[in-house]
Structure 1
Amino acid sequence: MTENAESVVRRSTLMAAGHSNYSVALRCRPDGPWQQLLPGVLLLKSGPPTRRQRVKAAVLYAGDDALITGIESLRAHGLHAFDTDEVHMLVPGTRRLSSREYVRVERTSRMPRARIIKGLAFAPPHRAAVDAARRIRDPSERRALLFAPIDAGLCTIEQVRAEIDGGAQRGTAALRELLHEVLTPPLTSTVHQGWAKRVIREAPLPAPEWDVPIHTATGQAIGIADAWWDSVGLAWDFGNQRDRCIRRREEAFTKAGLIFVRTTVAELRSNIDAIVLALAHAYLKAASRPRPPVHALT
């Protein structure tokens, strides 16, 4: 029989290929070449499984309609600052499946659309962050988990808010408090902000406010401005975030009638004169039209 790439298979697959219960049990003895990782799921090699093999086993155990969420999903999306031995799986609410070993199974009526990464199905970053953070007791770790995908440009604060509002209420009280805090976590590094403040010292502009959440008149979150001139409704973005997130943020700000200036990190380090000119022009443009009906949480 040809083993798959991770050497992780369902017992039923082996049986269909001609193995008997006896032959499988024989190979899974303590000194045998195979081992059982989870009920009905085998690793066709001895020795400790790799992280990928553990995740693959969790997927085979949970079934084809399951998704990986929580910290493991955040890691798959590139956020490697967090670690856990647990694999958190979402399954449809109609399923009856128990958590086993290192696999946490959660039934949900709100299965998100899968993000396929290297052949495995993961929950999107905003859902994964909420699923992970609502189970964390430590406030600083909870905050870090909740805001990590926003900081990385993988989703918006509004997507996280919508996930909290639309999902199960259990364990979300602390997350709601985080989103309603007056001082939200800065989404740019102190290094980038230091470079930006150096630019502002050279610009003929009043001092802005930094890391400011902007909301519509009805209270809907628009996004967080790295720098914000409230009197004219001007937002400056200079964080090291992914292009697709920048486009979403710019679209949200401009849709609200705001002037949005984007500066790359490379420009921030080396092209001060051009940035000063762009900000001055943007400020004059913003001041020449009625200020949009937005408010900032400062």
Structure 2
Amino acid sequence: MSGFVDERVTGVRRPSGGGKLPVMNHNTPLSPRPLHHLATGTGTGRRVLTHAQLRAHGVSAAEAGEQCRPGGAWQQLLPGVVLLHPGPPTSEERLHAVLLYAARERTVSVPVQPGRDEPPASPYGEAMITGLAALTLHGFASTPPLPSLETLDVLVPRLRRLRSTGCARIVRTADLPVPEQVTGLPVAPVPRALADAVAVLKDAVAVRRLLTEAVRGGHCEPAAVVRELTAAKLLNRPHVVDAVDSLLAEGRALAEARLYRMVREYGLPDPCWNVDLRLPGGPHLGGLDAYWPEQSVAVELDTRAPRPGGRPEEDAEWTEHARKREHLERLGITVVHITPRKLRDAAEQQAAVVRTALMAAADRDPAAYVVVLPR
């Protein structure tokens, strides 16, 4: 028989010879794991962890607090977020820190629709970088470098109970955009990041510079920016309205240049550029960006930027635009509408649309005679 018998009550095996059991203190903590492995790499290559992540690595709250004391090896960068070295954080570490801070104690996640695969969980929940930091990550040249930003904006759902603190400025929204991944970080799309940046900028020159670069640099179209500025209720600020006017002018000039390039590169016949049409001895029919008189085909760049809840005259502008198009089509003129985004992303397809309209002219009834004037 074995020298040990099972003790079925306690589950402890005792010597069969009646020897004394070794004294065991169940309150004695396990030997702590060495902490240097966290400071040299957490498996993600980053040295920023939350208290919950530290516990998963076997580090208790008491141990973390001891390490974060003055003169310690670590420091608490934000509430619940620890930097695993004593020196100043890098820009990357600050970005990860504000995202981890915003992701703590997340609210209930959005349910996945039936039949759709659940997206992979982000370690940052629904939080994403926005504002000036996001624009810098998107490659803007007119935004400050990350080390010079005292605070980093992080976008979260509106119902999150968070407060801005330290280097984290919380921005709430009821309608979260789909983030873009930039250097492995969730970053708000350019139009949303622009709106959040403009919301805190008072310098009219800085606002105009940002909006101009957004369009000139090909980051987004003017209409998308105006939609976000409208949703953020920023178009009641005079310096923002002035910047938007410059933005729309910049967007139209860029779209016109793309239209010229499309006609040239895809071998379309030369049109009459920037013309006004009139009925002989009659009313003005409207301006067009390009017109082929022999085929009665026109191209109009749709650079309008909707402003929901805008001024009455803006609604009138939309109505006039639709009226002009209907009138021209009743006269037998084919009007091809092209948006700046389609010119940028699908110029060959748009050239094919125009070419098809020109070729179909022979099968249509002749259009009404109109007078073509330079605009």
How would you bin the TM-score normalised by the shorter chain? Answer: 0.5 to 0.7
3-state SS of the aligned residue for 1:112?
Answer: coil
> Judging changes above 3 Å, is the alpha-carbon distance between structure 1 residues 208 and 104 closer, same or farther for their aligned structure 2 residues?
same
Q: Which of 97, 106, 117 in structure 1 is aligned with 2:171?
A: 106
Structure 2: 5+ residue runs without aligned partners? 1-36, 104-124, 262-269, 276-300, 306-316, 322-334, 368-374
3-state SS of the aligned residue for 2:318?
Answer: coil
* Equivalence for 1:267: none
Letter in 1 for 2:131: G
Q: Are 2:225 and 1:160 equivalent residues in the alignment?
A: yes
Q: RCO (CA 8 Å, sep 6+): is it higher in 1 or 2? A: 1
* Equivalence for 2:79: 39
* Equivalence for 2:13: none
Moved over 4 A (4+): 185-189, 204-209, 248-251
Structure 1: 5+ residue runs without aligned partners? 197-203, 222-232, 236-242, 260-280, 291-297
Task: After TM superposition, list the pairs within 5 Å mapping 1:183-262 onto structure 2.
Answer: 184-185=249-250, 214-215=303-304, 218=318, 246-247=344-345
Given that residues 154 and 170 in structure 2 are in contact (C-alpha distance below 8 angstroms), is that contact kept between their aligned partners in structure 1?
Answer: yes
Given that residues 98 and 152 in structure 2 are in contact (C-alpha distance below 8 angstroms), is that contact kept between their aligned partners in structure 1?
Answer: yes
Taking only aligned residues, the RMSD between alpha carbons, in angstroms, comes to: 4.5
Task: After TM superposition, list the pairs within 5 Å mapping 1:93-172 onto structure 2.
Answer: 93-165=158-230, 167-169=231-233
* Equivalence for 2:66: 26
Letter in 2 for 1:78: G
Q: Are 2:100 and 1:60 equivalent residues in the alignment?
A: yes
3-state SS of the aligned residue for 1:73?
Answer: helix
* Equivalence for 1:69: 130
Letter in 2 for 1:247: D
> Judging changes above 3 Å, is the alpha-carbon distance between structure 1 residues 184 and 249 closer, same or farther for their aligned structure 2 residues?
farther
Q: Distance in 2 between matches of 1:16 and 1:205?
A: 69
> Judging changes above 3 Å, is the alpha-carbon distance between structure 1 residues 182 and 157 closer, same or farther for their aligned structure 2 residues?
closer
1:121 offset after TM fit, Å? 0.8
1:94 offset after TM fit, Å? 1.2
* TM-score of the aligned structures, taking structure 1 as reference length: 0.64
3-state SS of the aligned residue for 1:184?
Answer: helix
> Judging changes above 3 Å, is the alpha-carbon distance between structure 1 residues 70 and 182 closer, same or farther for their aligned structure 2 residues?
closer
1:171 offset after TM fit, Å? 6.9
1:160 offset after TM fit, Å? 0.8
Letter in 1 for 2:232: A
Aligned length: 245
Letter in 2 for 1:45: H
Bigger radius of gyration:
2
3-state SS of the aligned residue for 1:68?
Answer: strand
Letter in 2 for 1:17: H
3-state SS of the aligned residue for 1:106?
Answer: strand
1:77-106 CA distance string (max 9 Å, x none): 111431133211111011110000121101
1:222-253 CA distance string (max 9 Å, x none): xxxxxxxxxxx999xxxxxxx998216887x8
Q: Distance in 2 between matches of 1:105 and 1:220?
A: 42
3-state SS of the aligned residue for 1:89?
Answer: strand
